[in-house]
Homo-oligomer: A and B are copies of this chain.
């Protein structure tokens, strides 16, 4: 089996952690697998380098930032290769360039264009473990690039795709994906398998284990992605295509996002173009609008409600006040968005009504609703959000 393993910053945070990663990689190699390891910089290194650069300039050149920032992953890859070779498993460190990771020219946020997998294949054919410095690539013209936040995950997924790997394991400091936040519902269970689309919903709902960029790439390249912990031997969560999941539960998980705020605009005259102008202006100011609800109001006017991230509320306020009279505007920070996610919804009716009944039984008022094919999001008062999660977790029998 060809396995790509990716270890994040905390997993290679110091020499002892790198040693422990080396042991884990050895074990996978001794089990008869071919291994490509993708590593991040030791935790804290990248922030340190960014701090150095900011000492000199608030707008450092992106090309130079990439030469700077790509150095941390090189260090980790060399050290892990040295550790593995010492353990009797010859390993070869590769920079993004040496591994053939070609990107576009957008420094600090480059996208992978193609991977020339020959050098990696040659090393694997010789029985070597390949240790790739993650987060980095090279342009056709030879500039060093980095892939932006979550870039090492992207490197791992892209390499797994390019090598047609059987598995791409993303190691972090958490065990995998849970049916909901275990701090809210202690009965939350680790999900064994989840589809790409469900994972995408979870990630956009704030689950921080994997970024959507990586999941989207895994889906596109059909890479079996596992997220698991490098601090224990627990099985993780497999993210794969829907067809690979035999017994799909109706609801896979429940997410809650408390960092939401709501803006309500009352008595908008019900003519075309008003909403368009509001959302265009917000978008131009980089405000991320999430849910949008428009209700029929009195006469020929409507009420328009939408949510934004809480930390963008102040800026959104300013913009809205410039566009509208303040008497029509309401702002509410004390809301939360509770979402249930599951591909089973596509084929089962009554999923939404059970959610509404469950919250009604707890006397929780649902203030906004938005649905997609595999997700139902409900805005409730923030103080009821944890109760809502627990009630829904139980209603869909996710603790079974």
Kindly specify which of A51-59, A271-279, A299-307, A310-318 makes contact with the partner chain. A51-59
**3 A-B pairs with least C-beta separation:** A68-B78, A57-B86, A56-B83
A81 touches B64 (CB 8 A): yes
User: A95 at interface (Cβ–Cβ under 8 A)?
Assistant: yes
Q: Name the distance in Å between A51's Cβ and chain B's nearest Cβ.
A: 9
Binding site of A, secondary structure by majority: helix, strand, loop or mixed? helix
Q: Report chain B residues within 8 Å CB of A19.
A: 56
CA distance A387 to B72 in the complex (A): 52
A-B contact pairs, 23 of them (CB 8 A): A15-B52, A18-B56, A19-B56, A53-B78, A53-B82, A56-B82, A57-B82, A57-B83, A57-B85, A59-B86, A60-B85, A60-B86, A61-B81, A63-B92, A64-B78, A64-B85, A67-B74, A67-B78, A67-B93, A68-B78, A68-B79, A71-B72, A98-B142
Kindly name the residue among A15, A67, A142 whose own CB sees the greatest number of chain B CB atoms within 10 A.
A67
Q: By the criterion CB–CB under 8 Å, are B68 and A71 in contact?
A: no
Given contacts A95-B144, A144-B95, contact A79 B52 (CB under 8 A): yes
Name the residue among A55, A60, A82, A86 with the largest chain B CB count within 10 angstroms.
Answer: A82
Report the copy number of this chain in the oligomer: 2
Q: Report A52 CB to chain B, min CB distance, Å.
A: 6
Question: Which of A's residues lie within 8 Å of B, judged by CB?
Answer: 15, 18-19, 22, 49, 52-53, 55-57, 59-61, 63-65, 67-68, 70-72, 74-75, 77-79, 81-83, 85-86, 92-93, 95, 97-98, 133, 142-144
Q: A55-B15, A71-B75 are in contact. Are A82 and B60 (CB under 8 A)?
A: yes
Q: Which residues of B contact A78 (CB under 8 A)?
A: 53, 64-65, 67-68
The answer to whether A79 touches B56, judged by C-beta atoms less than 8 angstroms apart, is: yes
